[in-house]
Amino acid sequence: MKLLRYGPAGEERPGLLDADGRIRDLTALVGDLTPERLSPEALAALAATDPATLPLVEGSPRIGCPIAHVPKFLAIGLNYVDHAEEAGMPIPSEPVVFMKATSCICGPDDDTIMPPGSEKTDYEIELGIVIGKKANYVSEADALDYVAGYVCINDVSERAYQIERGGTWDKGKGCDTFGPIGPWLVTKDEVGDVQALDMWLDVNGEKRQRGSTKTMIFTVPVMVSYLSQFMTLEPGDVITTGTPPGVGLGMKPPKYLKAGDVVTLGIEKLGAQRQEVKAYGA
């Protein structure tokens, strides 16, 4: 299934995408796509519903983040060998973990607002994992049992805040609009082999990032298991899993985003995003 939420920001309604690419309204069945709606049992009940029996949504509404009230927005850094090399960082022996503020989450086509004075706003196409049931101290062998599905994410970053302002990376990762998620949450049964998905990102039509989840250093089961050793993963938690090469930071000279740029990106089977970059207050 492809699950989504549509409508104005803060007023989104739940929906699913039918076989013809049309949005069907799920409000009567689930109210909203909250974390408790992501359990294996709840997803199975939705999967048993005939989309043709659901109301058809007319027009082209705004698409929001496909999960309401995300509890935690976790991130893995330097998870592709070639990206670590372009960043001038050593290949990690364990996953590099940081947090993105949940307040940065927005819809996949919402504008990216650069924070005041930003000169180093950057982009990162990433696979996102959505947790479906509570997980703590889970094994790698069982880790996928705790996954509800996958999403496309742009891990927008302000590199000066991230690298030059002291302390953790979190400072450059959690600004408002720095977490576009969606357009859909695709359940794992529909994705198939999550370690074989092509990824791409362009800026103003120029090719920037091309990659595949097959070149991850740490696979999805490894990351879910690893994180569960340090914290309880809850339904609705989102884990963004690192980016392939081609980010602005890695170019020589670096090539960061500026007001007026248009970023387009997507992941095979998970849909595409489009963001216009704007200055704060514009």
CA distance 79 to 77: 6
Amino acid at 136: N
* Predicted confidence pLDDT, tens digits, the chain (282 residues): 999 999 999 999 999 999 999 999 999 999 999 999 999 999 999 999 999 999 999 999 999 999 999 999 999 998 998 777 877 778 889 999 999 999 999 999 999 999 999 999 999 999 999 999 999 999 999 999 999 999 999 999 999 999 888 878 889 999 999 999 999 999 999 999 999 999 999 999 999 999 999 999 999 999 999 999 999 999 999 999 999 999 999 999 999 999 999 999 999 999 999 999 999 988
Amino acid at 154: N
Rounded to the nearest integer, the mean pLDDT of the chain is 96
CA distance 3 to 188: 12
Whether a cis peptide bond, with omega within 30° of 0, leads into 51 is no
Evaluate whether 16 touches 46 at the Cβ level (below 8 Å).
Answer: yes
Burial of 101 (0-12, 13-18, 19+ CB in 10 A): middle
User: Among 184, 199, 204, 197, which residue's Cα sits nearest to residue 274?
Assistant: 204
Evaluate whether 15 touches 57 at the Cβ level (below 8 Å).
Answer: yes
> Where do the domains of the chain lie?
67-279
Evaluate whether 152 touches 273 at the Cβ level (below 8 Å).
Answer: yes
DSSP assignment, residue 213?
A: G
DSSP assignment, residue 141?
A: T
Q: In the structure encoding, which two tokens stand for residue 209, read together? A: 């990032």
Burial of 193 (0-12, 13-18, 19+ CB in 10 A): exposed
pLDDT for the residue 133:
98
Task: Classify strands 185-187 and 112-114 as parallel, antiparallel or unpaired.
Answer: unpaired
- CATH 3.10.20.310 for the 67-279 domain, yes or no: no
Please, what is the Cα angle at 179 between 178 and 181, to 5 degrees? 150
Evaluate whether 191 touches 270 at the Cβ level (below 8 Å).
Answer: yes
CA distance 203 to 65: 22
